[in-house]
Structure 1
Amino acid sequence: MNHASLLTADLRARQVRRRSLAVLLLVLIVLGAAMGGPVEPAGEVLDETALMQATTAAPPIEVEAPPTLEQLQARVAAVLAREGVPGVGLALVDREGVRWAGGVGVADRSTGAPVGPDTQFRVASITKSFVALGVMRLVEQGRLDLDRPLRELTPDVALTNDWDATSPITLAHALEHTAGFDEMRYNEYFSPEDGVVPRDALAINPRSRVARWRPGSRGSYSNPGYTIAGHAIELATGESYETFLEREVLRPLGMPTARFRRTREYADRLATGYHEPGRPADFRPIYHAPAGALLASPRELGQLVHFWLRRGDTGGPAIVGRESIARIERTETLQYRLADNNYGLGNYGDVLHPARGRGHDGGLPGFLSCYRYFPELGVGYVMLLNSTHSLQAYLEIRALLFAYLTGGRTALPPPAVDPDPAEIGGLTGFYAHANPRVQWFGFIERALLGISVRPDPAGIDVEMLTGGRAQLVPTGDGGFRHWRESGTSIRFARGDDGRRILVGGLAYFEEASYAYARTRLLALQAAIFLLQLAPAWALGWALLALFRRVRGRAIASGEFALHAWPAAAGLTGVLLPLLLVHVARAEAYGTANVLSVGLCAGTVLFAGCSAAAVAEVVRAGVARTVPLGLRLVPSAAALASFGMTLYLMFHGIIGLRLWAL
């Protein structure tokens, strides 16, 4: 082939590459418009962990106490209307019993049926409180042992624990979320049918029962632990956990209609849940039913609150004794002292109210649930929302309920402790997040979550890695609280390896390098900025190239590809989070479907575009046909996308198959 033919072939090849890239860019732009346009914001999809974090991280909301029940209902109705929440079931309780149970708003927007005292809600993780009560009832009877290794209690359940010889996983670890388990995997979420037995649910994906650190060294919320507890109940009793709990816990408490699965008998009582205004949530059963399948009404859950307030005294159902109640409210599997928001057995502390409280929250698609009781004040409440998009409604209605119940009364906060400069000086430093709930995406939390601690005249100043700060006052023995909190919300201690740790609720941070964490965050922010800049830069270059073409100046060899591939990588990188939102909205992460497979293919496409972008940068640098000024931004974007690809590949995101995790 002669030289002219070679030039002609090369020109045609470049034209084919340009057309291919142009088609790819057009497809990506159309997809971005199609996916980004009609999709409404996902809003705040809240679950029990988000609610627990809200009660440990947000400053308390102060409201004026409604003087009458009618005014309380009116103010709750105003919150619902403002936040677009259809309805809420409520119960107000004291030591004498359920003072009032009812509702505000509607249980179903389409029918307008009002929420009443017997409207049933999916109470989600509040189920754990009943499983814990059932376990403790069997402990009192000598049929279960909290400290016995699970490999002996439940030998048919697959567990992986590299520390088994010295730190076996016990039933207490599973109930206190300190076993080190990962959260349930995506193919363990939703079941095609109601009533999957715990043994079968646990067989779906044993990888969620792998101890990621020594059991008892730190906590991390994990639903499968309660499915193990449900299975332990079945092995100990020889009957289903549902039958046992309904007979031994629910019915004695005064909960005649509460069930662990839908039944035709009470179908007309079940509220409709909503993701957001106008978008109802489908009722989908869950595999890990002992962790969150209970259906109950506000009146019925009020009986549970009454039980906690009675503290095991006579005159009511003797589900468990006073000592067992105290054990339920303690954390015993961790070797360091905790804050007042500790997680016990299906029961945790809350210091966001003006008095220390305990209880549990729950979240499932369309439903948020909460109950709290305040032993020092002798009152408590139940709050069941049939919408999951408004954290503000959750916080504000809680505050109104407490204010009404107490009429402005509070309990004394922890005694004031003068700051110890020497002690606080030893706490100064940076603490990195070290107990991700979902291990697969833990790298995101590690990159974003970190706390810098500095001395403050009143105590300590804490600042988040991504911004936001607060002053905390000491409560003694390494404990601190916000001045408006009713109890200790964080505490400093020593971890297994002797490093200083910061704990609060189920949060766990350990001493680390601030310089490394800050550099990693800045590098990720710079990479994301360059990825977002690349498409806009390519568009500007295209307009400039068109103007030059009109002036009779052709673009240099390789110039189109140099700009197009980083732009393609940038557009793909922008589309991936949008696609992930679609996967979450459609709850399509547990199976191989168009959305989940598309997400997997998108990650591979991003990697391919990034590799091609780097290749074009190298080619342009060697050939030097493109001026340096035109190479700088696309080269930086190409390197950023390639670096991001390596980062995501290292963490298993490239080729991500959610359905197979």
Structure 2
Amino acid sequence: MFRTLRGIPLLGCLLGSIGCHGQPPAPPPIPKGDYNAIIRYLQTRIPWEMAREQVPGLSIALVNGQELIWANGFGVADKARGVPVTPNTAFRAGAISKLLTATAALQLVEQQQLALDAPIQQTLREFYVRSRFHDDQADADRAITLRRLLSHQSGLPSEHLRGLRNTFAMGQMPMRMSGVWLSTPPGSQVAYSNLGYALVGAAIERSSGKAFETQLQNSLFKPLKMNQSSFVGVSAHVPHRALGYQDGSASTDAQVRDLAASGLWTSPKDLSRYVQMLFAQGLYNDTRVMDRASIEQMFTQQNIGNVLDFDCQMGLGWFLSPCGDKPVSPGIRTFQHSGGGDDFAAQVTVLPDQQLAVIIMANDSNAEDMVVALSTDTLRLMLQAQTGAPVCADDCQAPKHGGKLRQVPAAIDRKRLAGFYATAWGVFRIRDTPTRLSGELAGYTFELLRDEDGWLRAQQKVLGFWLKDLGGLGRVQLDVVTVQGRQILTARSHGQRVAVGERIDPPPLPLAWADTVGTYQVLSTHEPDAPLSGISVRLEEGFLVIRGQLHDKPLTDYILLPVDHAHAVLAGNGYGLGDTVSRQVNGLSASGYAFKRTQSPHKPLIF
């Protein structure tokens, strides 16, 4: 809610790589078994990529079965002190933390200290939810299970912003979050939730009787000899940790409240041991770390039957399909997870059938697209070395802009498509004019044309020619389909179809909510690096539009749909959507914050 989104599946597909220039060095032919040829190529390509993207430091590990083929560091972990990145340098892993948290939870399931399909309330008795989807609130509580938390199907909000940078104990989270409103019906779709994993961390502590860090060290890090891995501390306190950078400047390490969701420090070399354990069905150096059955559960699709998830497959912790990102190769099962934010970027990608893996971590906030592309290309080369045959997806060569016939949609088509669409990236406005169909999303304005396959494509003109490079946004194919009576904006990228947003029609607007138009500031917060300082509400073409504010920086627009006189939700489904906003006597409340009105076009109503 109200956040700048990074590291969420499909974000790079839609908004990344806009206006990129230059191509990396072409890879050489890779003879069968010649992994050294891959290493020589990467030793040239990685510095070239880092220079182009101005990334200070990067570390990489390549895994083939039980062999660590290569682990190497590039650049610097600390520019001011000239500290180089080595294979032992630890980076913030961001959301990759969830893989280790899910593994630790499954270990406790093996020990019958947690149960996958029991209500999480059996472990966290103080935690309860409120639901507009259930007549009996107790049914809503019973629907929140460990399996649904691990597979992002709990229906919980994506975030709880208040206290996001605080360091209070993990065990306090269930009580602090009790009474939160569900954003989606549990079990109905994948809606990525850091909050859900914070609760998993609390359940691990409660069921094991140990602090989260202690439990993870004892059950995973020490058996796997992951000596640089930890969920606590910052780079200034622990040797061998990289500083994060944003636009060339070093960042102050942010405190992380939701450690189980995003607090891991680790290195690609350490994570390679974790991957080797998974490839060996739970064994590492002849020591049983987890049961084979647990790994099978982790890699089993959990969201079968969720029509709104389309081609995005979710396991326990792992994404089991690229979800709109470029695949390694058709027919090759690919499991992955990325991690971004706090001025780091990371990706773990494994090919379970071939037992190949690439792990890359970098210490710059702008490195995410580079890390993802480098991971995919490296795995293609590793497949070539394993099989002796070149590997390429159907669309390895990106289409040239303007190279395909595109035409303005017919008038009846433009009328059908025009409207406001709620997406995780904000309001996607599609407008019909007498001569064209235009779109606007996250500050980008473009024309929407039909390609020869009937899909919508985004394009911009420069001097009358279709030359403007919109990156991934220009290559993705869009269209609107009806699913369960809802009009869903979908994208097809690299042969996969994923949901982007939902068309929203202007709702009846109760006077109580019409009166909320104005600006608001956060009350009673002394948080360091607070993610939100205020919000504003305005009317736009019959919609209430709410926007977050971080000091002088406006955040994303969302459509606010009233549910009753006291509650409204952020329209749509997916990351950050469906979250509840409540009216208070003197303002609004959302994501744990209370907001006081600072400016209004008219006198507020009192009730």
Q: TM-score range by the shorter chain?
A: 0.5 to 0.7
The equivalent residue for 1:342 is 313
Q: Distance in 1 between matches of 2:144 and 2:457?
A: 35
CA–CA distance in structure 1, aligned partners of residues 393 and 181 of structure 2: 42
1:76 CA displacement: 0.5
Q: Supply the distance in 2 between the matched residues of 1:220 and 1:238 (Cα, whole angstroms).
A: 30
Within the candidate set 364, 389, 412, 1:387 is matched to: 364
Q: How far did 1:173 drift?
A: 1.6
Q: Tell me, in whole angstroms, the C-alpha distance in 2 between the residues paired with 1:457 and 1:69.
A: 41
The aligned residue for residue 48 of structure 1 is 7
The equivalences for 1:51-130 within 5 A come to 52-54=10-12, 64-65=26-27, 67-130=37-100
The alpha carbon displacement at 1:317 in A equals: 4.5
193, 196, 201: which is aligned to 2:173? 201
Write the letter of the residue equivalent to 1:257: Q
2:455 alignment counterpart:
461
Which of 152, 162, 179 is the aligned partner of 2:154?
179
Distance 2:223 2:481 in 1: 41
Give the Å deviation of 1:160: 1.9
Residue 660 of structure 1 corresponds to which residue in structure 2? 594
The DSSP-based 3-state class of the residue aligned with 2:108 is helix
CA distance in 2: counterparts of 1:320 and 1:491, whole angstroms: 44
2:327 aligned with 1:353: yes
Shift of 1:121: 0.7
Unaligned 5+ segments in structure 2 are 29-36, 396-413, 431-438, 462-472, 507-517, 548-558, 561-580, 596-607
TM-score, with structure 1 as normaliser: 0.60
Alignment TM-score, normalising by the size of structure 2: 0.64
Whole-angstrom CA distance in 2 between matches of 1:433 and 1:246: 48
After TM superposition, give the deviation of residue 95 of structure 1 in Å. 0.3
Look up the match of 1:136. 106
Percent identity of equivalent pairs: 22
Q: 1:413 to 1:71 in 2, by over 3 A?
A: closer
CA contact (8 A) 1:371 1:382 kept: yes
The answer for the alignment partner of 1:251 in structure 2 is 222
Query: Aligned to 1:406, which of 353, 376, 383?
Result: 383
How far, CA to CA, are the matches of 1:381 and 1:153 in structure 2?
Answer: 36
Secondary structure of 2:216 counterpart: helix
Partner SS state of residue 78, structure 2: coil
C-alpha displacement at 1:222, in angstroms? 1.2
Which one-letter code corresponds to 1:177 in the other structure? H
Q: Check conservation: 2:92, 2:263, Cα contact below 8 A.
A: yes
Instruction: Tell me the alpha carbon deviations over residues 99-158 of structure 1, each in whole angstroms, 9 at most, x when there is no partner.
Output: 111211111110111100100111111110011111112222222222112233322123
- Whole-Å Cα distance in 1 between the matches of residues 293 and 457 of structure 2? 40
Give how far 1:511 is off. 7.1
The 1-side partners of 2:484 and 2:310 are apart by 18
- Return the letter of the residue paired with 2:246: H
Q: Distance in 2 between matches of 1:316 and 1:260?
A: 26
| Mapped contact 1:202–1:228 kept (Cα < 8 A) | yes
In structure 2, C-alpha distance between the alignment counterparts of 1:465 and 1:331, rounded to whole Å: 36
Matched residue, 1:284 = 254
TM-superposed CA distance for 1:363, in Å, is 1.6
- Note the C-alpha offset of 1:384: 0.6
* Cα distance, 1:464–1:326 mapped onto 2, change above 3 Å: farther
Root-mean-square deviation (Å) = 4.8
SS in 2 for 1:106: strand
**CA–CA separation in structure 1 for the residues paired with 2:382 and 2:24:** 14
Equivalences for 1:485-564 in 2 at 5 Å?
508=499, 512=503
Q: Secondary structure at the match of 1:85?
A: coil
Matched, 1:225 2:219: no
Q: Measure the CA separation in 2 of the matches of 1:113 and 1:316.
A: 36
- SS, match of residue 301 in structure 2: coil
Query: Structure 1 or 2: larger helix share?
Result: 1
Shift of 1:72: 1.1
Q: 1:205 to 1:589 in 2, by over 3 A?
A: farther
User: Which of 207, 210, 213 is the aligned partner of 2:181?
Assistant: 210
| In 1, Cα distance between equivalents of 2:393 and 2:184 | 37
Q: Report the CA distance between 1:368 and its aligned residue.
A: 0.8
- How far residue 205 of structure 1 moved from its aligned partner, in angstroms, is 4.8
Q: Identify if the C-alpha distance between structure 1 residues 228 and 492 changes in structure 2 by more than 3 Å, giving closer, same or farther.
A: farther
Match for 2:11: what amino acid? Q
Structure 1 residue 301: Cα displacement: 1.1
Offset, 1:204: 3.9
Instruction: Report the counterpart of residue 555 of structure 1 in structure 2.
Output: none
Structure 2 partner of 1:21:
none
| Contact 2:124-2:206 within 8 A present in 1 as well | yes
Q: Distance in 2 between matches of 1:225 and 1:259?
A: 20
Shift of 1:296: 0.8
Deviation, structure 1 residue 335: 2.8
C-alpha distance 465-457 of structure 1, shift in aligned 2 (>3 A): closer
CA contact (8 A) 1:309 1:373 kept: no
**Which residue in 1 is equivalent to 2:298?**
328
Richer in strand (by share)? 2
Deviations 1:60-89 (A, max 9, x none): 999733534233122101111111110101
Q: Which amino acid in structure 2 is aligned with residue 119 of structure 1?
A: T
Separation of aligned partners in 1, 2:546 and 2:334? 41
Partner of 1:18: none
Change (3 A) 1:445 1:86: farther
Taking the aligned partners of 1:299 and 1:260, their CA distance within structure 2 comes to 17
Q: CA deviation at 1:378?
A: 2.5
CA distance in 1, matches of 2:422, 2:292: 33
Does the CA-based 8 Å contact 1:336-1:494 persist in structure 2? no
Cα 1:185–1:435 change in 2 (3 A) is: farther
**Range moving further from structure 2, 139-148 or 397-406:** 397-406
CA 1:72/1:411 → structure 2, altered by over 3 Å: closer, same or farther? Answer: closer
